């Protein structure tokens, strides 16, 4: 590679550059820009930093993703929108993301290649903003710079543009290929027409793909992209729920997948802080998913794994075309990922899972995983803890069991209550299921470096604002919309002590995962981040005041549904039962009985209350912050402890 003629002068300064539009899941760069600005604002803060990358702000430790969530939520609410995603939905002219919620797959337009530029999700070329560093820009202020670029396909330098030396120039650079840049400072008065030139040789835009799999904690359950909204005049009758003026919208309604998922937020933050990269993301996590729901049926050859079949779908009471949160669907999460990422002819229209792929739009460089709790009965333990004596009366809360049973199941011990017949040995060994999933990810997606699968424990939901275990009165207060939520102090204490205070759930998962080669992140369990932010935690903000669905003397106390502000910052980082009822909305029992007297608790009901005990958007952001260091290390090889 030869420099242009008359370019042998000693260079002054250097070229600085960054990729524009570097998060490739949102459909427009404008939707990502607020997140980028929030990340820059966090970096500019002069404050103490801890080992998790958080900064001490206003007396509390706040990570970059949590900081962004708070900042964007407050801004959106000031503009009349409940959350930054609702604002994006309202202002977008077309699709907000690259996910087709109707067809439940990546939008074809995001995979369609537009010539040499590549596709939206997998670009072959990107626009970069290049400029002289501050020293050179000051020296050559008022001069014109002629910009050149040289790529692997160029025989010689190409003139790209001419711009003021003090400002940026827009260049097109290849992804994952080396290129070089040169800025020639023009001076018509000089003998050769230039003063000097500044070079930036052997640069590269790093293209990376992040994929998310898992259960409700990975999907962002409890946080609709666009929550149900209510009129100020809404009233509560004895026989019906308050009805919203706008129904909720999800990234994927069947899975209750949300753009607030900590998996997506990690990918967005990695794109924000890595200026010379372009990060693509696709998430497949689904509320209610077990490990078997992640694994493709073609990989369930081991004796201890049961393939997902039509019968198993029927047994799990799945119906097509409704907003159920049961995870089983036509294809597993890995099946869906292979279909979307495979570039073989006909793969996009395949009506059966693709067993092999010879060419790819892109292979994952990082997998974010949150799964295992449903395999060992975590949801059943929550049901046992909060449902009181009504478990047998309400289908949604059936199957509750004590924590000890779940932990024995996780360890593969003989006490396998909750499993039946020949399934006991197949479905109750968590370590074996993780091992099967590790093989499936490697075989189906070609991710042979297993430490690029990042996972961690579930956050504890049981701490009040003082760090004490939630009282029964406090938890019941947030569930007065239903008679069957009636817990006791003893049960909540057992739930907290067995699973979280003693780290038994975390340790069971950690041990089961230890032989997979994945990256296990303990930060969430040991940082204490959620200790004062459980489902019962109270604060001083207006958003903390909302806890009740009671209409007293014709008015709402303390505030009404229209003032809920689902995404306003609050002390608690978990959704209460009432939160879920209002944000996700379900039809009343009276209406359900009119539809089907034999099934008063139906799928729509489950969809409406499934957010209970799940992290809020801010809670998801805190989860993302706790996994960020490890994710950054595995994706880019940089950061603390890498």
SS3 assignment, position 391: helix
Percentage of the chain surpassing pLDDT 70? 77
- What pLDDT does residue 174 have? 96
Write down the H helix ranges in 246-299: 262-273, 291-294
CA distance 136 to 155: 29
Tokens of 114: 């537009």
SS3 assignment, position 504: helix
Element (H, E) at 641: none
CA distance 100 to 339: 14
Please say if the pLDDT value at position 102 is more than 80.
yes
- CB 480 within 8 Å of CB 460: no
CA distance 620 to 626: 10
Confidence category of residue 557, pLDDT binned at 50, 70, 90:
low
Stretch 182-207: mean pLDDT: 86
Per the model's pLDDT, the better-predicted residue between 577 and 125 turns out to be 125
Tokens of 228: 């149900």
Percentage of the chain surpassing pLDDT 90? 50
CA dihedral 130→131→133→136, nearest 10 degrees, is 150
Tokens of 411: 């360890």
CA distance 135 to 138: 5
- For the segment 144-172, what is each residue's pLDDT rounded down to a tens digit? 999 999 998 888 899 999 999 999 999 99
3-state secondary structure 83-142: CHHHHHHHHCCCCCECEECCCCEECHHHHCCCHHHECCCCECEEEEEEEECHHHHHHCCC
- What pLDDT does residue 320 have? 31
Tokens of 571: 């002390």
CA distance 453 to 353: 23
Residue given tokens 């295992």 in the structure block:
372
Confidence category of residue 465, pLDDT binned at 50, 70, 90:
very high
- CB 185 within 8 Å of CB 196: yes
Tell whether pTM > 0.85: yes
- What pLDDT does residue 606 have? 64
Query: How high is the mean pLDDT of the chain?
Result: 81
Domains of the chain: 15-207 (no CATH), 208-633 (3.40.50.1110)
Confidence category of residue 602, pLDDT binned at 50, 70, 90:
very low
Please say if the pLDDT value at position 595 is more than 80.
no
Q: Which of 497, 570, 579 is nearest to 537 (CA)?
A: 570
CA distance 541 to 74: 12
Q: Which of 251, 218, 207, 246 is nearest to 85 (CA)?
A: 251
CA distance 150 to 160: 10
Angle, alpha carbons 384-387-389 (nearest 5°): 95
- Residue 4: HSE in the Cβ half-sphere, 13 Å Cα cutoff: 21
CA distance 100 to 104: 5
- What pLDDT does residue 607 have? 63
- CB 272 within 8 Å of CB 636: no
CA-based torsion, 103, 105, 109, 113: positive or negative: negative
CA distance 73 to 390: 37
Phi and psi at 261, nearest 5°, equal -55, 140
- What pLDDT does residue 508 have? 81
Write down the H helix ranges in 398-446: 403-410, 424-427, 430-445
Q: Which of 367, 286, 258 is nearest to 616 (CA)?
A: 258
CA dihedral 138→139→143→144, nearest 10 degrees, is -80
Q: Which of 333, 338, 331 is nearest to 352 (CA)?
A: 331
CA distance 449 to 432: 19
- For the segment 370-416, what is each residue's pLDDT rounded down to a tens digit? 999 888 878 777 877 877 544 433 434 445 566 666 556 555 543 33
Phi and psi at 580, nearest 5°, equal -65, -40
Q: How far is CA 568 from the centre of its chain?
A: 18
For residue 83, what are the contacts with CB-CB under 8 A and spacing of at least 6?
73, 76, 77, 225, 226, 227, 260, 566, 567, 617
Q: Which residues of 171-201 are buried (b: 16+ CB within 10 A; e: fewer)?
A: bebbbeeebbbbbbbbeeeeeeebbbbbbbe
Per the model's pLDDT, the better-predicted residue between 395 and 240 turns out to be 240
- What pLDDT does residue 427 have? 38
Please say if the pLDDT value at position 8 is more than 50.
no
- What pLDDT does residue 123 have? 96
Q: Which residues of 56-94 are buried (b: 16+ CB within 10 A; e: fewer)?
A: ebeeebbbbbbbbbbbbbeebbeeebbbbbbbbbeeeee
- What pLDDT does residue 408 have? 62
CA distance 323 to 607: 6
DSSP 538: -
Tokens of 477: 């207060």
Residue spans of beta strands (DSSP E) within 324-467:
366-370, 453-455
Please say if the pLDDT value at position 429 is more than 80.
no
| Per-residue CA distances from 453 to 260, 441, 469 (Å) | 20, 9, 33
Tokens of 586: 């379900």
Per the model's pLDDT, the better-predicted residue between 628 and 299 turns out to be 628
CA distance 613 to 440: 30
Per the model's pLDDT, the better-predicted residue between 114 and 493 turns out to be 493
- What pLDDT does residue 303 have? 32
Tokens of 552: 């007293």
Confidence category of residue 551, pLDDT binned at 50, 70, 90:
low
- What pLDDT does residue 296 have? 57
């Amino acid at each position: 590679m030869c420099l242009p003629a008359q370019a042998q002068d000693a260079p002054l300064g250097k070229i600085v550059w960054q990729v524009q539009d570097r998060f490739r899941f949102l459909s427009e760069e404008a939707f990502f820009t607020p997140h980028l600005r929030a990340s820059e604002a966090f970096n500019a803060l002069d404050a103490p930093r801890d080992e998790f990358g958080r900064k001490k702000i206003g007396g509390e430790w706040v990570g970059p993703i949590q900081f962004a969530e708070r900042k964007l939520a407050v801004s959106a609410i000031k503009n009349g929108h409940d959350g930054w995603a609702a604002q994006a939905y309202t202002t977008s002219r077309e699709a907000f993301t690259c996910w087709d919620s109707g067809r439940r797959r990546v939008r074809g337009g995001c995979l369609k290649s537009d010539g040499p530029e590549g596709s939206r999700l997998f670009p072959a070329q990107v626009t970069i903003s290049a400029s002289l560093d501050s020293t050179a820009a000051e020296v050559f202020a008022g001069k014109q710079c002629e910009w050149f670029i040289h790529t692997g396909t160029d025989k010689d330098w190409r003139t790209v543009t001419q711009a003021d030396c003090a400002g940026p120039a827009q260049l097109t650079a290849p992804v994952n290929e080396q290129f070089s840049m040169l800025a020639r400072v023009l001076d018509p008065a000089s003998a050769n027409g230039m003063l000097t030139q500044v070079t930036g040789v052997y640069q590269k835009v790093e293209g990376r793909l992040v994929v998310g799999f898992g259960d409700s904690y990975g999907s962002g359950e409890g946080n609709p992209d666009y929550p149900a909204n209510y009129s100020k005049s809404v009233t509560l009758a004895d026989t019906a729920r308050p009805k919203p003026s706008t129904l909720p919208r999800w990234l994927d309604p069947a899975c209750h997948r949300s753009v607030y998922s900590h998996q997506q937020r990690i990918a967005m933050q990695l794109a924000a802080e890595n200026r010379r990269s372009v990060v693509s993301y696709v998430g497949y996590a689904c509320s209610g998913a077990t490990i078997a729901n992640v694994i493709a049926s073609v990989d369930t050859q081991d004796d201890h794994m049961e393939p997902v079949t039509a019968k198993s779908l029927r047994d799990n009471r799945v119906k097509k075309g409704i907003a159920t949160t049961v995870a089983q669907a036509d294809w597993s999460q890995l099946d869906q990922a292979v279909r979307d990422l495979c570039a073989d002819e006909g793969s996009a229209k395949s009506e059966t899972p693709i067993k092999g792929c010879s060419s790819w739009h892109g292979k994952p460089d990082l997998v974010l995983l949150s799964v295992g709790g449903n395999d060992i009965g975590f949801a059943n333990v929550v049901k046992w803890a909060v449902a009181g004596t009504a478990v047998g009366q309400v289908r949604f809360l059936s199957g509750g069991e004590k924590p000890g049973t779940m932990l024995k199941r996780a360890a593969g011990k003989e006490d396998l209550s909750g499993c039946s017949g020949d399934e006991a040995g197949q479905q109750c060994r968590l370590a074996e299921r993780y091992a099967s999933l590790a093989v499936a990810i490697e075989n189906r997606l070609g991710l042979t470096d297993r430490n690029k699968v990042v996972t961690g424990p579930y956050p504890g939901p049981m701490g009040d604002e003082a760090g004490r275990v939630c009282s029964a009165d406090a938890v019941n207060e947030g569930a007065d919309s239903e008679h069957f939520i009636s817990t006791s102090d003893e049960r909540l204490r057992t739930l907290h002590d067995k699973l979280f205070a003693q780290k038994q759930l975390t340790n069971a998962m950690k041990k089961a995962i230890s032989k997979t080669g994945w990256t296990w992140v303990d930060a969430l369990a040991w940082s204490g981040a959620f200790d004062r932010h459980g489902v019962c935690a109270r604060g001083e903000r207006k958003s903390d005041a909302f806890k009740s669905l009671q209409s007293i003397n014709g008015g709402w106390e303390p505030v009404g549904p229209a003032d809920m502000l689902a995404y306003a910052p609050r002390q608690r980082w978990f959704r209460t039962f009432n939160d879920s009822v209002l944000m996700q909305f379900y039809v009343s029992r009276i209406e359900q009985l009119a539809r089907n007297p034999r099934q008063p608790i139906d799928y729509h009901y489950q969809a409406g209350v499934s957010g209970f005990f799940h992290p809020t958007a801010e809670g998801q952001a805190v989860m993302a912050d706790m996994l960020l260091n490890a994710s950054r290390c595995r994706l880019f090889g940089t950061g603390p402890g890498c």
